[in-house]
Amino acid sequence: MPGCRVASHRRLADTGGVSELGSALRQWRDRLSPADAGLPASATRRAPGLRREELAQLAGISVDYVTRLEQGRVTTPSGQVLESLARALRLSREERELVFALGRRVPRQDRMRTELTPSVCRLLEQLQTPVCVYDACWTQLAWNRPYAVLFGDPGGLRGLDANLVYRKMAGGPTRVRQGAAESEEYLDAYVADLRATQARFPRDPRVTRLIAALTASSARFATLWNGHEIAALHETHKTIEHPQLGLLHLDCDVLTVDGADLRVVLFTAAPGTPQADALRLLASLDVTPVEQPAAQPANDKS
């Protein structure tokens, strides 16, 4: 399983004042040295942080405006000003979101947030049921061992092959078993969900590249994409054919994560059922590669 990346958190001190935004900007300015901001250091400097004049220069706004922000006389600056301040202050993703929240603005998102949160890392480490984490484009990011045992080892998948929608359109090897009607229904849902992602992140190059590759390689995808349907995918069940455990009919839930653009997919079975017994056996089985089924529908390469 790929390593979990946990974003660091910084806590602001109690402001004790009127404007939380002003207090936050002052604290972030005080902690950033001129050298870190690419400015020459001065031997006469009495404080380690940036001066208001320096922050104004870096952000491209007036010193008077920085002063009014820090003193709480401006509480709802424009998104462009907040973006400039966040960039000048070298804020982390979490801090950038905070400064927009304090400024009562919604931050623009040019890229999907794919960092694994601490809670998602704990799910992968602690749950004994199969779990896989995808980004908003359905590219696999992380999984636990039970998932790799159940579906086959995804560790060797690279590039487009790591994307669930691309593999489905290309007829790649899979242990998931679906009838023609069910397969078409799922494909419609995946494409509609991907369109919703494209609407949220129109400038993310990962989204753009995936859609271009799918459109170029599959006439079926291009037809569905031009249908302009938008929907979220909520899976309810999957039938998996495991080489040792046979056919397993499992419940499948897709969870979203606050503060990240992740899809966490969990596979479970009702207690006391043969499916639940089979899931418990996953811990004792080896991880093996997934093989191409003997009979596979014709690939859509047009």
Residues 204 and 277 both lie in one domain: yes
Domain that holds residue 31: 20-102
The pLDDT score that the predictor gives to residue 98 is 86
Q: How many folded domains does the chain comprise?
A: 2
The pLDDT score that the predictor gives to residue 272 is 95
Spell out, as residue ranges, where the chain has pLDDT lower than 70. 1-18, 41-47, 106-108, 228-235, 292-302
Please give the single-letter amino acid code of residue 153. Answer: D
CATH of the domain at 63: 1.10.260.40
The pLDDT score that the predictor gives to residue 229 is 63
Contact 302, 169 (CB under 8 A): no
The pLDDT score that the predictor gives to residue 44 is 65
The pLDDT score that the predictor gives to residue 262 is 94
Residue 98 neighbours by CB distance under 10 Å: 20
Q: Tokens standing for 27?
A: 């604290």
Residues 84 and 134 both lie in one domain: no
Answer yes or no: is 181 within a domain: yes
The pLDDT score that the predictor gives to residue 101 is 84
Residues 261 and 170 both lie in one domain: yes
The pLDDT score that the predictor gives to residue 90 is 92
Residues 122 and 98 both lie in one domain: no
- What pTM was estimated for this model as a whole? 0.65
The pLDDT score that the predictor gives to residue 108 is 67
The pLDDT score that the predictor gives to residue 292 is 59
Residues 270 and 211 both lie in one domain: yes
Contact 13, 130 (CB under 8 A): no
Chain CA centroid to CA 188, Å: 22
The pLDDT score that the predictor gives to residue 215 is 94
Residues 132 and 261 both lie in one domain: yes
Contact 137, 194 (CB under 8 A): yes
Residues 95 and 134 both lie in one domain: no
